[in-house]
Amino acid sequence: MSILPDFLRIKNVPSASWSSDRPLNFKPKIKTLFFLVLGLTIFGFGESLLIHSAIGLSPWVVLAEGLAINFNWSIGFAMFASSVGVLLFWLPLKQQPGVGTILNILVIAGTIELSMYLFDFSTDSNFINLIVGSVGVVLVGLGSGIYLTANLGPGPRDGLMTGLQRVTQYPIAWVRVSIEVSVVGVGWVLGGTVGIGTLLFAFGIGPAVALGLYLVAKIYK
């Protein structure tokens, strides 16, 4: 009998009533698009909370900072380059892009911008900042669970996660943690800045995504 919670053992993205029958679906149902955008919006708001908390860069930003330092790139271009690099890993994993792959970039970025403009959760209390950052990680996970279930194509990093899970058959939580920790390690070696929030995200996002998928599976099974 395993001592691990059930959600940490989840290995597949569940199907729900709003799930598309294929990622390359250019005429998805309105319900499918609604839950896709809802999940991505929750994802983006969670990312904004992590930024507000100011307790450390997320793993992929650490990598981008390291690349920027070594290649004299801007952080923005380094983020773009790393995303393209991740998409190249999709080829051997046979991952399929879709509408969700494009909306992933647009909706999350737009939500972060809007949230940073409308809300200010910053505080001088390290404890409260840690709570805000933790809530942000959980929301990113829950948003991922909703939008991935739409099955309209994942974002670059989520596609790497689901592709590696399919090939290795390891639980999603552990696959995602392995990816994030590896990215932090490479970024740190390249000179990127690692903080408490970085480690919180690296070790927390895998279980958070698994929890999001588990809840969707339980509610809409």
User: Which domain does 150 fall in, by range?
Assistant: 28-219
In a domain, 14, yes or no: no
Q: Per the structure, how many domains does the chain have?
A: 1
In a domain, 13, yes or no: no
**What's the predicted TM-score (pTM) here?**
0.87
What's the pLDDT at 117? Answer: 83
Residue-level pLDDT, tens digit, the chain, 221 residues: 455 678 888 888 888 888 999 888 888 999 999 999 999 999 989 988 988 888 887 898 899 999 999 999 887 788 888 888 998 999 999 888 898 988 887 898 888 888 878 888 778 888 999 999 999 999 999 999 999 999 999 989 999 999 999 999 999 999 999 999 999 999 999 999 898 989 999 999 999 999 999 998 888 76
Q: Which two tokens stand for residue 192?
A: 């990127």
| Residues in contact with 155: Cβ distance below 8 Å, sequence separation at least 6, in sequence order | 100, 101, 104, 105, 108
CA distance 210 to 212: 5
In a domain, 17, yes or no: no
CA distance 103 to 123: 32
In a domain, 145, yes or no: yes
